[in-house]
Structure 1
Amino acid sequence: MRLERRENVPLTVVAAAPLAAILAALVLAAGLIGAAGVNPLEAYGQMLRGALGSKLAVTEMLTRATPLILTGLAAAVAFRARLWNIGAEGQFFLGALTTAWIGHSLALPGTLGIAVLMACGLAAGALLLAGPAFVKLRFGVDEVVTTLLLNFIAILFVSMMIEGPLRDPLAFGWPQSVPVDNAYRLPDLIARTRLHVGLLVAIAVAGIIWLVLARTVFGVETRAAGLNARAAAFAGISLPRTLMGVALVSGALAGLAGSIEVMGVTGGVTTSMSPGFGYAGIVVAMLAALHPAGVVAAAVFVATVFVGADAMSRASGVPSFIADVIVALSLLTMLVALLFTTYRIRR
């Protein structure tokens, strides 16, 4: 038995791989739910009702999906060029902190100020990934290690700032940053819910990223660098320039996620504002097979699991940590699905 690379992968196989991976993850997680003494079908029904069973549930799910779309895009763009950005969590926090800091005292009209603050979040995230990209290109340092470790450095820096010079004096001792001015809060999409126009921004960004990757020279160079770096260099593509450009775009997307979360949901920064958006973005990107359009659907699935798991936990007593298990299993099963999408078994 051996693995043989497929010359042509049918579109139906590509489309079926994420669905098969999700189904396999749910089947595997059902064993754990059953071990907790709960009927898995009833538990999954409660999960769906908790995430999709009412207007409030749907809006909460979409609110959770908004940063996941952007961190998923950040991972997808980087991974396409084989730049393994594991630091979206730190880039998210740095974008959020920069937005809160500047947005607290910015004196610009509302719409212009929002655009400026988003640009600041973009710049902060891009800057944080530019360092690991530079040392990778200059010294060959593995970016998996540097980006992962920078997550902890960035979060500790945020913690220092919100307990020091950027601490909100009106937070009654709670470690929270100064808030952005109310003029720069993103408008609600639906009244009396937390769903904000950041969702539309995230979807629009996904469309822009798809156009860039599919219809521009930069997109072709990014794909070429990811498929075969030596062949790309032989064809005249500047790998340092391409990879640095990819790093700036990827970090900027994660920083934008933090910026939108502050202006749309939290108003300020706390170290608990992210339940792991940066890490979950990796799962979103893999479930989407690194396709920008698929990222939106994958983010909705992951958000459904997280929001629905809380409701399932309250209704059945199954620990809400089952959501982390399902998401992790989805990543593992997707990797297996991608293996059999790319290769076939030959006797």
Structure 2
Amino acid sequence: MRLEKRSLPSQAWRLAAPLLALAITLAVSSLLVAWAGAPVGQAYALLLEGGFGSRFAWSETLTRATPLILTGLAAAVAFKARLYNIGAEGQLYMGALAAVLVGGLHGGSGLEWPSWLLFPLMMAAAALAGALLLLGPALLKSRLGVDEVVTTLLLNFIVLLFVSWMLDGAMKDPLAMGWPQSVGLQESLSLSKLVERSRVHTGLLWAIAAALLLWALFKYSRTGFEIRAVGANAQAAAFAGMPVAWVSIKVALLSGALAGLAGAIEVAGRTGYVTLDMSPGYGYSGIVIAMLAGLNPLGALLSAVFVAGLLVGADSMSRAVGVPTYIADVIVATALIAMLVSSLLVNYRLRLRSRDGR
């Protein structure tokens, strides 16, 4: 068998691809749920109810979706230019650390700055920290041809070790009873609640605004056109006179800034301080969200809510029928693989080789 590129992918195949991916995901996940000894229908019902079936469920889903939207956008903008940023997890932690450095330690420096000035400085510091962390791998790729997948992935572990060192040293909270966490943000720098009696905060609005701005950048700006051109064919873009290396640098700065901003918003909106378990893999989940969205910034909003709902709903499903919560991770991973295969079949068809090898 061989893959043969379709001359013109049909609209029917484009519409059928997501449905095919959903069917494959449900079939594979059903086998795993049944293998765990739980009724499939009841498990799915509990999963959906836990993630979307009540006001509390929606509040928890949207709270978890907020950082996922930003890390999904970080992956989407990088992958659009074929800069494979696998380091959003580390960039998120660096953004969170920078946010606390500006908005937490500043309170004990003897200087009292107004919150209206300190808050944008805190967000800018977080975005800058994430951007600079990705700038190194981008320069190594453009100058020396070093694979950015390896460098960004390894930087995640380096950053986590650095964060652990800071939480046990210079940024350790003396009131934490020995628990490894940073000093807290000043209360005036916390994001306000978007919904009363819930954990949903105004960081969700920041994430939605970032998605809208990124969509407009891709669609209407020259930079967006250059990003799409470099991602489609870097050699052709260079032949047309586009500064491919400079486009990659701009993409790296934007992608890292979005991931760093996710860390700042998570600290200012939910935790109030940095801990090593602050992120349950938001940076890695952002890759899944970007791919499920087809690298579309607006699609990242929906896919982030979908993934967040599965992760939240898996907790209630696990308590009710005894299915491991990791089934949500399996469902998300299966959905990603199924979507990639379905997208492949949109642009290619399978052909059987004849006996003469043609």
Q: Under a length normalisation based on structure 2, what TM-score does the superposition of the two structures give?
A: 0.94
Identity of aligned residues (%): 55
1:95 corresponds to: 95
2:177, 2:11 → 1: CA distance? Answer: 56
- Give yes or no for contact 2:81–2:248 (8 Å, CA) kept in 1: yes
1:180, 1:171 → 2: CA distance? Answer: 14
1:167 corresponds to: 172
Counterpart selection for 2:279 from 274, 277, 283: 274
1:289 matches 2:294:
yes
Out of 333-342 and 246-255, give the one that drifted further.
333-342
Gaps of 5+ in 2: 353-358
SS state at 2:140 partner: helix
2:197 corresponds to: 192
1:193, 1:13 → 2: CA distance? Answer: 42
2:13, 2:213 → 1: CA distance? Answer: 26
Written as runs of structure 1 = structure 2, the 5 A alignment for 1:309-320 is 309-320=314-325
2:215 corresponds to: 210
- Give yes or no for contact 1:72–1:295 (8 Å, CA) kept in 2: yes
SS state at 1:344 partner: strand
1:83 corresponds to: 83
SS state at 2:66 partner: helix
1:66 corresponds to: 66
Out of 98-107 and 209-218, give the one that drifted further.
98-107
Out of 234-243 and 26-35, give the one that drifted further.
26-35
Out of 325-334 and 201-210, give the one that drifted further.
325-334
1:116 corresponds to: 121
Gaps of 5+ in 1: none
Counterpart selection for 1:308 from 310, 313, 326: 313
2:5 corresponds to: 5
Q: Quote how far apart the aligned CAs of 1:263 are.
A: 0.2
1:150, 1:232 → 2: CA distance? Answer: 29
Give the residue type in structure 1 aligned to 2:267: V
Out of 282-291 and 113-122, give the one that drifted further.
113-122
1:262 corresponds to: 267
1:117, 1:62 → 2: CA distance? Answer: 23
Give the residue type in structure 2 aligned to 1:38: A
Alignment deviations for residues 272-331 of structure 1 (CA, whole Å, 9 cap, x no partner): 010000000000000000000100000011001100001100111001011111111122
Q: Quote how far apart the aligned CAs of 1:10 are.
A: 4.8
1:30 corresponds to: 30
| RMSD of aligned residue pairs (Cα, Å) | 1.4
- Give yes or no for contact 2:135–2:253 (8 Å, CA) kept in 1: yes
| Distance change in 2, residues 1:14/1:262 (3 Å) | farther
1:87, 1:101 → 2: CA distance? Answer: 21
SS state at 2:58 partner: helix
1:153, 1:224 → 2: CA distance? Answer: 33
| Distance change in 2, residues 1:7/1:119 (3 Å) | farther
Q: Quote how far apart the aligned CAs of 1:17 are.
A: 3.0
Give the residue type in structure 2 aligned to 1:144: V
Give the residue type in structure 1 aligned to 2:252: A
Give the residue type in structure 2 aligned to 1:85: N
Q: Quote how far apart the aligned CAs of 1:209 are.
A: 0.2
